Chains A and B, each alone.
Chain A
Amino acid sequence: MDAIKYNEVILGGIVMLSNIRWLTLSLICLSIILYAILIKWLNPYFLPRLAIPVSIIISLCVGIVLLSVILGPAKKQLISMNISQEKYKETTNLLGISKRELEEKNVMLKQKTETLTILNRINKAMISTTDLDRILGLILEAVQKDLNFDRTIIFLIENSTLQPEKGIGIENEELEKLAISIKDKNNFIIKTITEAKPKIIFSIEEEMIPRNFTEVYKNLKPNLLAAIPLISKDKVIGLVIVDNTKSQREIEEKDIRNLSTFTNQAGLAIDNARLFEMEKNFVEELKRQVDIAKRELEQTQSQLIKSERLSALGEMAAVVAHEVRNPMASIRASAQRISKKIANDDPNKKYTRYIIEESDRLERVVKNILMFSGETAPQLIESDLGKLIEDVLYFLQPEIESSQVQIVKMLDESIVMLKIDPALIRQVLLNIIQNAVHFMVNRERRELKVATMQDGSNIVLEISDTGPGIPEENVKKIFDPFFTTKPSGTGLGLTISNRIIEAHKGRIELHSVLNYGTTFKIILPIS
């Protein structure tokens, strides 16, 4: 509008100027004509010498008066023309500014729309995926596309450490180095978290940078590194660190503002994904525990069935034992009688010995079955414990030698006679020492220690090995019937041993250290 008006004024000015030209010309003509008329008219009254200058002066005066009359409006027009010109300039200026502003607004609008689209994508992803890694990826992608930092790294707080989760523009192995403790309150990263506000590093001297960061963030100068907290539900859950240390392009407040748009949204998305993951883990953990409980239940059940079977077995074993032992008594006694009757050099003598020995072996089998399956009373006889140990070690010598096991004996000489069932105690020693030797195979150090000592009213028999030890969870089970970790074990050895010692009113104590060894302590009352 104004522009048009000013144009009119200027146009008016130009028309006026061209008119002035003609007016001045006609004025000069008019002055000359006036001069001619005045000379003619004044000649009769004045001297010719005087008439000429008077005429000139008069016509000049008239001319000037007329000229000033004509030029008055022209001058006005000229002034207004000047003003309009200035105003015009100003207007075009303003016009330019507003045009630029418009363009800027357009760009910003475009950026905003893009940001919105990306936010929308993150949102969508948030709804469609609960995969933390994917959400982190999306956020990084968005930040990279929009803001173009050299590197962007997302850190999350996990049990008081700030863990680098995912980054763009950085190798994974470098990323892993960036974990820092949340307790290190002095450094700027943790400060960003506690203050919950974005931070650009303006001065490297004033801010503390974590030591493990210096390797990754080389060539650090002011305004090249910034940290933006990730916030969800008023809580800082992590942060995004961006830097331009490579391109050395300074990070502006504007960049941080834009980045904040993402981080606000991202915080929520990450938190949600994490919650979901936790829930998923929780469900999985629950499932695992249910599985364990189920397995344990099954185990107890099978153990119950086993023990039930055991008591039935006990009854049956008693019957079998009775039916076996009676004829065995006749067989053995008959052989013994024959053996007594015939001379020592009789060739049949060895056959009677075979019968007696085999009967005894069978009797041992019966005894063990009884021992395992039910109760039985040991036959206590004054026996030499030291000799018994030597016997067992001698009996096991081939096994001990082939396994290259070193034997250390520390026997208390003062213990001579002890009221025990030697056959049963022998069985216990055999089983425990056999286990010890078995579990020392493939061990670097193979040392079997057998020691006896008197402890008040008890005799203590210690058998130690340098085997792998018994895991905590198995310690309770090793005396259970059928519990074995040997590929071909029966799992009855310790069960029987324990019963035998209990029948002697004693007990077995166990001391085992993983990867170091196991000690079985047999404690027997003296009387």
Chain B
Amino acid sequence: MAETILVVEDTKYFSDILTDELKDCNYNVITKNNGTDALKVIEEKMPDLIILDVKLPDITGTEILAYIRQYDTNVPVIICTAVTSTKLKTYYDRWANAVIIKPVDLDLLLGVVKKELEKSK
């Protein structure tokens, strides 16, 4: 059975590419471009893995991460962001499974996804 991956990304093109790439790798992909919609998905059914952008139009990826960790400490979360600070980095290091800085290398990202999914089983 294919794992479900939630992609929360507000940049239209990039979310598009990510979705296609993950689908090509036979994952179920749900794509959301804002925080509110993403939270709805999470409340409904927790996906197997979440790829999270930080800067979103409504709420931040950091807040979504905090929300996720209230219910589930195991689901792998990969932070995918353009900029980060040392303070946030420490926070992500604690609560997220990986931080990847854009522009990402797709193969590197796929590698991390695969590794994290295996770990969470």
Residues of A in contact with B (beta carbons under 8 Å apart): 318, 321-322, 325-334, 336-337, 340, 359, 363, 370, 375-377, 379, 503
Contact = CB atoms under 8 A, between A and B. Distances in A.
Given A333-B18, A333-B21, A334-B13, A363 B103 contact: yes
A424 to B, nearest CB: 12
Contact of B83 (A331, A340, A370, A379): A370
A377 B86 contact: yes
A329 B106 contact: no
B32 interface: no
Given A321-B83, A322-B83, A337-B20, 6 more contacts: A328-B102, A329-B14, A329-B82, A330-B11, A334-B17, A336-B105
A131 B28 CA distance: 98
B103 A377 contact: no
Contacts of A331: 103
A337 B102 contact: no
B103 A329 contact: yes
A62 B50 CA distance: 187
Contacts of B18: 333
Interface of A: prevailing SS: helix
B59 to A, nearest CB: 17
Nearest to A356: B105
A321 B82 contact: yes
B85 interface: yes
A325 B101 contact: yes
Interface string B96-121: 00010111111100000000000000
Nearest to A323: B82
B47 to A, nearest CB: 21
B83 A330 contact: no
Contacts of B89: 377
A332 B106 CA distance: 9
B14 A330 contact: yes
A333 B103 contact: yes
Nearest to A317: B83
A379 B103 CA distance: 14
A377 B55 CA distance: 18
B84 interface: yes
A407 to B, nearest CB: 32
B110 to A, nearest CB: 11
A337 B83 contact: no
Nearest to A321: B83
B99 to A, nearest CB: 8
9 contacts: A321-B82, A325-B82, A326-B11, A327-B13, A329-B11, A332-B105, A363-B103, A376-B86, A379-B99
B82 A326 contact: yes
B90 to A, nearest CB: 8
A354 to B, nearest CB: 15
Contact of A379 (B14, B82, B101, B106): B101
Contacts of A375: 85-86
